[in-house]
Amino acid sequence: MAEHNILGKQGEEAAARYLVMHGYNIKERDWQYDHKDIDVIAEKKGILVFVEVKTRSSEDFGSPEDSVDDEKIRNVLQAANVYVNLKKIDMAVRFDIISVIKEGRFYRIKHYPNAFGASDWRPKIAH
């Protein structure tokens, strides 16, 4: 596995631990649909949270969260729509970003709730 893929997996693991420590129930990790993925799907207080995790070894080339571009947002929204329909979920949803910087053995984590997507987003119902 390429070094950047290993770093990404380590960041996702750190983000999942962070979420659990903050009262989230992890539903899925690395959920994929049609070459689109959602890093973490979690639930807290009746809200289903789709989390995009971005990990870097430094901020030399910008903050990790800055790399979540319009295409990535579209992909997460599309995958979330499929997930909600497949699982027949009827609850509020939210889209978060977790930024992870690995500093030696430690991880610096920033959590951005409601980072993108409308707060009143509802899935398109599949017919």
Backbone angles phi, psi at 30, to 5 degrees: 55, 45
- Note down pLDDT in tens along the chain; length 127 residues: 676 688 899 999 999 999 999 999 999 999 999 999 999 999 999 999 999 999 998 888 888 998 999 899 999 999 999 999 999 999 999 999 999 999 989 999 999 999 997 544 555 554 4
Report which DSSP code applies to 127. Answer: -
The whole-number pLDDT of residue 56 equals 93
Q: Quote the CA–CA distance of 83 and 98 in Å, as a whole number.
A: 20
User: Does 127 reside within a domain?
Assistant: no
Give the global pTM: 0.89
Q: Are 76 and 97 in contact (CB under 8 A)?
A: no
Q: Is residue 118 part of a domain?
A: no
Domain that holds residue 20: 3-112
Query: Do you know the residue count of the chain?
Result: 127
| pLDDT attached to residue 108 | 95
Domain count, the chain: 1
Q: Is residue 73 part of a domain?
A: yes
The answer as to whether 122 is a domain residue is no
120 lies in some domain: no
Does residue 65 fall inside a structural domain? Answer: yes
Q: What is the CATH number of the domain that holds 11?
A: 3.40.1350.10
Answer whether residue 8 is part of any domain.
yes
pLDDT of amino acid 127: 41
In-domain check, residue 126: no
